[in-house]
Chains A and B, each alone.
Chain A
Amino acid sequence: MQDEPRATEILPAVAQFLRDTVTTDHSAHTLFQARVAANAVDLAAREAELAPGLNEEERVRLMHILGHDGDLQTQNRALADALLEGRLSLSTPGMKAHLWATSMGKLAVDQPGYASYRRALKASQS
């Protein structure tokens, strides 16, 4: 499950920035914000491409760990509560692999250049 705000919330903010700020304010700060906006569009494109497949894989893993199916929000709530309360832990079969896979899936969308992500990706492929 991807983090929030979702791409569908971020893109309208990019559009508003392009319409209202870029056209009127040509300061250095606007230039900086323009780079951030470009990154946001890239993120939205990666989310559109990757999130459906990642979500389906996550749903299947969660079903095995929790023993029942459900929507990602409800399943993640159940998992997070169980981890917080110690009912499930890293010794639960499949847990560590699930948490890594889910976080790596988020990074593939959010920040594929993040150094710790690159290192973990390399470690998992070797």
Chain B
Amino acid sequence: MTSQAPHPPLADALAQLGGRLYPSLGSVSGLQRLSGGASQETWAFSFEGPGGPVPLILRRAPGARVSDLAAGLETEAELLKLAEANGARVPHVRYVLTEADRCGRGFIMDRLDGETIPRKILRDTAFAGARPHLARDCGEALARIHQIDPGRLPQTLRAAPASVRLAELHRSYANIGRPNPVFALALRWLGENKPQDPARLLLVHGDFRHGNLMIGPDGVRGVLDWELAHLGDPMEDLGWICVPSWRFGQIDQPVGGFGQREDLFAAYEAAGGGRVDPARVRFWEVFGALQWGLMCSGMAEVFRSGADGSVERAMIGRRASEVEIDLLDYIAPLDGARHAG
């Protein structure tokens, strides 16, 4: 990035872009910021066409720099295209921004219709017909993602099998700087139970869970937010969707609060995802639980620093203890109690 010129108002820049891309389309409408942190933004908008509005999403980084762990928006766009070509349900990428567009870095993709809010997906009657097959939908989606030929993946993807990911967790714990005996025990357990890194690293989505799954009454419609994609152990994705923190009270439905591991694994294997190793998945479940626990713990500092002094932020910090119970369920189950989930 060499251009330091300020970006024109986003709606104007998008209108110019739309005029070039789709001469038949008219104005930009409904431009609305959806979410995103300081470095990445997600916007909803539409191009008004003769057949009605075309609903779209802009993912962009107004500045140049994103987190070290983020794949980068151009890489994300490339992964979405590869996933779509491999039969996974993902939003179709319409356009990757160039510097000439003066919208920052990023891309434009189709805006999918559906729901991402877990409590609605798990409770609303609209999704009652979908819930029984969501675990299988997830298995199938992950199989299609993991089957992408690693030789075709962008060179910019970082390689992060279990050994690398575990070192990251150790650093997170050390950086938080407050002692937590249960988290320390879990780190020790993970070190002692770490599976060998697979010989062949595959594409891992890295954040396959509620919030990043667009779900409709017909099931999983799209896998979103590829920011944390990396090369690694595909069992990481199967473990992450089973972490107790995503069950929202439905603790006997380990897969996202809506399904059973057996369904997830069977659909994954049936869709050609390769053999599932439940012990390896279990390692990644414990890993994922701790990863979320450390994320919660870290919120105390974010709250204090003033970067986000909201009550909501503080209260996320106080959810780390939920993860302690979940971790103990996995690695130090109460006598007579069965394992978590």
- Interface pair B334/A123, CB less than 8 Å apart: yes
CB distance from B302 to the nearest CB of A (A): 10
CB distance from A122 to the nearest CB of B (A): 10
Q: CB within 8 Å of A: which of B306-337?
A: 309-312, 314-315, 317-322, 324-326, 328-329, 331-332, 334, 336-337
Interface size bracket, B side: 35 or more
Q: How far is the CA of A70 from the CA of B272 in the complex (A)?
A: 57
Q: Please encode chain A, from 25 to 63, with 1 for each CB lying within 8 Å of some chain B CB and 0 for all others.
A: 000000001001101100100000000000000000000
Chain A residue contacts of B326, Cβ below 8 A: 116
Mark each residue of chain B from 234 to 249: 1 if its CB lies under 8 Å from any CB of chain A, else 0. 0000000000100101
Instruction: Tell whether, in the assembled complex, residue B322 and residue A83 are in contact, meaning their CB atoms are under 8 Å apart.
Output: no
Inter-chain contacts of B171 with A (CB < 8 A)? none
Looking across the interface, which residue of chain A has its beta carbon closest to that of B341?
Answer: A116
Partner of B311 from A33, A84, A114 at Cβ < 8 Å = A33
Q: How many residues of A contact B (CB 8 A)?
A: 45
Tell me the total A-B contact number using a CB cutoff of 8 A.
129
Q: Least Cβ distance of B180 to chain A in Å?
A: 6
The yes or no answer to B70 lying at the interface (CB within 8 A) is no
Q: Please tell me if A86 contacts chain B, counting CB pairs below 8 Å.
A: yes
What chain B residues lie within 8 Å of A40 (beta carbons)?
A: 311, 314-315
Interface contact B325-A120, CB-CB below 8 Å: yes
A114, B314: Cβ atoms closer than 8 Å: no
A110 to B324: give the CA distance in the assembly, Å: 12
Interface residues of B in 163-188 (CB under 8 A from A): 178-185, 187-188
On chain B, the residues within 8 Å of A9 by CB distance are 303-304, 314
Q: Which 3 A-B pairs have the closest CB atoms?
A: A106-B321, A80-B179, A103-B324
A residues with CB within 8 A of B: 3-5, 9-10, 13-14, 16-17, 33, 36-37, 39-40, 43, 73, 76-77, 79-81, 83-86, 89-90, 96, 99-100, 102-104, 106-107, 110-111, 114-117, 119-120, 123-124
